[in-house]
Structure 1
Amino acid sequence: MQQQISSRSIWQSYASIILLLAGITLGSLVGFLYGKHVEGFKFIGDIFLNLLFTAIIPLVFFTIASSIANLQKTERLGKLFGIVAGVFLMTVIISGFVMLVVMWCFPIAQDNSLRAMVSQALIDNPASAVHSGGTSLTQVLTVNDFFELMARKNMLALILISLMVGFATLRAGEKGRPFAQFLESANEVMKQLLEMIMKTAPLGLGAYFAYQVGVFGPQLLGVYVQPLALYYLTCTVYFIVFFSLYAYMAAGKLGLNLFWRNNLTPALTAVGTCSSIATIPANLLAAEKLHIPAHVRNIVIPLGAPIHKDGSSMSSIIKLALLFAMFGKDLSAPSLFLAIMGITVIVSIVEGGIPNGGYIGEVFAITAFGFPMEQALPVAMVIGTLVDPIATLLNANGDLVSAMLVTRITEGKDWLQKAMKAST
């Protein structure tokens, strides 16, 4: 009976991933077997992508605006909140930079099949061509009419307005509370809409890959092998080495030993559920065993689940690296460094706390660098699905070790020894 419950739990956690991979695999097999005869299936993939594109605009607005509008409780924490934000930002930047260095050292080859696919796609849809570098900052960040915010090409302007609406709601105080409740309610509705659309993802992406493999050849799938191998290896090293370093910085050898002794349950929960939110109870229990003060753990752990994501930061880099190779752009150009790191930080925040929230971050990154959405998003979605388990591990476990770092800053160097003595 217990084994049946465990199997059911595993299926519930990974069902969407398994079904999506099954759809992609079956579609790729059909494309391989029937070649260009599968072109008639393309409309199914197009329908799925069009539904997704239609939902993304309101989803982005309500997700960001409602998240900011409901920060009243945390902003009162003043200095502690500032320290938490600083620690979160530090680890996200470090994780992203580590992944970027790996991509510089082991660049993804600009595969001919991908280049052919892009070239043909741009012939079919020239309006989706990559934006030129001469686009002004004004055009990227703002629009001159409200209705233009509804266009995907103006995603950065939409995000900026969403942030401003959220902060304006905060400033309105009690009078703004009904609007904050509306934003939260609308955000929940959009989550449910996205879940409904994503249930068709195995069919939609399966049809998309049947078309791509049938037209451009099975070598297309081989492109994913290198970035995935690099990602999993880099994340494993980061998990062991950097989390150990953070724990040591927070509380010395004692903190290092205690962290790994109490880390197993949160780590397995994160991998088993693929959800940072679902890992909050396990993280809170582990934080208590690590003697992290209640006023710290009760803020860092719940707040970190939606907005602090080391794994998402690293996955953002791997997606960008693949897209840069796909569209023949140089990821190592010095002029792009700050833009890539900035986008990575924003994406790791934007993705937080919603089912399939990574797709919002992917749309944001694709828009920021001007890649054709119709060709870039399915690639980013597949990578996002394949890296999800270990990304969630870093996202969720990063909250626990961050709570240790915050305690070190707020409580002093010997906080752990004092806490252990007080508990005996």
Structure 2
Amino acid sequence: MSETNKKSVWQAYKFPIVLLCSIFLGSMIGLVMGEKAVIFQPLGDIFLRMMFTIVVPLVFVTISSAVSSMGNMKRLGKILANLLLVFAITGIIASIIMIVTVNIFPPAKGVILEMPQAEMLEPFKTTDQVVKAFTVGDFPELISRRNMLPLIVFSIFFGLCVSLVGEKGKVIANGLNALSDIFLKMVSLIMYYAPIGLGAYFASLIGTFGPELLGSYARAMAVYYPVCVIYFFVAFTGYSYFAGGKEGVVTYFKNIINPAITSLATQSSIATLPVNLEATRRLGVPKDIRDIVLPIGATAHMDGSCLSAILKISFMFGIFNMPFQGIGTYVSAIVLAVLSGVVMSGVPGGGLIGEMLIVTMYGFPPEAFPIIATIGYLVDPPATMINVTGDTVVAMMITRIIEGKDWMKKKLEIPA
């Protein structure tokens, strides 16, 4: 049994371990070779270019495919409306908590890299910028990674229209699903090259900028991991108390252990879904609510991703010596965090797309992408746990809203 567990844990963590080992090896080569390690940069640039090339079609087909496949929304209108509201509110709360934290403990304090300077964009500061952030003036402008938000909006709208057409749209929906599988296969093949590409990139990066960058990663993790632990116990205690009072808190933490451990082991919200469905059954969440909230939550509710998005944004601001302060900056960061946590998390590979979104929206140079992507790999285990256990407590909150405050007294008679 223990041997099986070891194998399953290795299977779950194999790629992140290989990737982190390659980054570590590349960093050591950079430290030893110094500026001579720049000879490896072309190998890293190849990986960057492949990722940048595939991101636009990947976003379009995966998002429009997911939306076009949504069918039975009539019966569950009220559930879905409350669901989206709770998703957004918890994402905003998570984002604000991390904004406060990174202002007290800046994750990249004192680290400045001599890279091409960011364009100092200030998203969402004026109405004109809001229009430009979400729309473009001509269709060809959508086919550019520089216009990710308009592409997302268009993809959602396109997928919705495919769904609304009904029977005629099923051909297109099936085609989008097939294209989605094809592009995801392309991503999986590209990722085989990731250890070489990122290892080479970090050899060049560390050779040029020295060990200070490695120290900044350690500082970022020292900020993120404790926040996840605190958020898990404090925020989820508050949410479960809202859902069911003291009984809700006790019952939640009694039943959340299996989903939490499974999510840490698999690093996958989808893989944890069966375990989470059983946990919510034991919690007494009605079948129709848990069968809607958890599958959608597994792909579109990511408090852990909101926490990490703010960490990434503030980290990049620090790296490029840009002040992470001001209401406009905070609002734009929260919007991007919730977008990456609620919208982009529904897309396989959405983490990388969310990171690309951060790079482009704030005008960071393309070289910033591997730096921010590495943070994504480092924070993934606790982020996934927060995402999964957050789905469970949201299911309880939705039940409380739909069924009333005494729902636990009626539902906990379900046998465990």
C-alpha offsets along residues 94-114 of structure 1, whole Å, 9 cap, x if unaligned? Answer: 1111111111222244535x3
1:413 maps onto 2:380 in alignment? no
Which blocks of at least 5 consecutive residues in structure 1 are unaligned?
Answer: 123-127
Q: 1:241 aligns to what?
A: 234
Contact 2:122 / 2:362 at 8 angstroms: preserved in 1?
A: no
Contact 1:69 / 1:169 at 8 angstroms: preserved in 2?
A: yes
| Deviation of 1:365 (Å) | 2.0
TM-score by length of structure 2 reads: 0.94
C-alpha offsets along residues 53-90 of structure 1, whole Å, 9 cap, x if unaligned? Answer: 11111111112211221222235411111111112111
Q: 1:169 aligns to what?
A: 162
Contact 2:45 / 2:197 at 8 angstroms: preserved in 1?
A: yes
| Deviation of 1:130 (Å) | 4.9
The separation in 1 between residues aligned to 2:343 and 2:50, in whole angstroms, is 20
The separation in 1 between residues aligned to 2:321 and 2:74, in whole angstroms, is 44
The alignment-based identity, stated in percent, is 40
Q: 1:115 aligns to what?
A: 113
Q: 2:151 aligns to what?
A: 158
Q: 2:296 aligns to what?
A: 303
Aligned partner of residue 367 in structure 2, secondary structure:
helix
Q: 1:380 aligns to what?
A: 372
Q: 1:95 aligns to what?
A: 94
The separation in 1 between residues aligned to 2:251 and 2:129, in whole angstroms, is 51
The separation in 1 between residues aligned to 2:261 and 2:335, in whole angstroms, is 31
Aligned partner of residue 351 in structure 1, secondary structure:
helix
1:403 to 395, 400, 407: 395
The 5-angstrom pairing of residues 185-334 of structure 1 reads 185-334=178-327
Distance 1:283 1:37, change over 3 A: same
The separation in 1 between residues aligned to 2:226 and 2:122, in whole angstroms, is 35
Q: 1:80 aligns to what?
A: 79
The separation in 2 between residues aligned to 1:136 and 1:311, in whole angstroms, is 28
The separation in 1 between residues aligned to 2:183 and 2:58, in whole angstroms, is 5
> Match of 1:293, as an amino acid?
P
Aligned residues: 413
Q: 1:343 aligns to what?
A: 336
The separation in 2 between residues aligned to 1:38 and 1:309, in whole angstroms, is 38
Aligned partner of residue 387 in structure 1, secondary structure:
helix
Contact 1:350 / 1:361 at 8 angstroms: preserved in 2?
A: no
1:56 maps onto 2:48 in alignment? no
| Deviation of 1:316 (Å) | 0.4
Q: 2:141 aligns to what?
A: 148
RMSD: 1.9
> Match of 1:233, as an amino acid?
P
C-alpha offsets along residues 213-246 of structure 1, whole Å, 9 cap, x if unaligned? Answer: 1112122211112221111111100001111111
Contact 1:41 / 1:210 at 8 angstroms: preserved in 2?
A: yes
> Match of 1:413, as an amino acid?
K
1:389 to 362, 381, 393: 381
The 5-angstrom pairing of residues 128-143 of structure 1 reads 129-131=119-121, 136-143=129-136
The separation in 2 between residues aligned to 1:303 and 1:53, in whole angstroms, is 28
Aligned partner of residue 172 in structure 1, secondary structure:
helix
Distance 1:172 1:30, change over 3 A: same
> Match of 1:405, as an amino acid?
M
The separation in 2 between residues aligned to 1:84 and 1:16, in whole angstroms, is 33
Q: 1:22 aligns to what?
A: 21
> Match of 2:186, as an amino acid?
L
The separation in 2 between residues aligned to 1:55 and 1:378, in whole angstroms, is 16
Q: 1:8 aligns to what?
A: 7
> Match of 2:203, as an amino acid?
A
Distance 1:3 1:64, change over 3 A: same
Aligned partner of residue 107 in structure 1, secondary structure:
coil
Distance 1:7 1:422, change over 3 A: closer
Contact 2:255 / 2:279 at 8 angstroms: preserved in 1?
A: yes
Q: 1:358 aligns to what?
A: 351
TM-score by length of structure 1 reads: 0.93
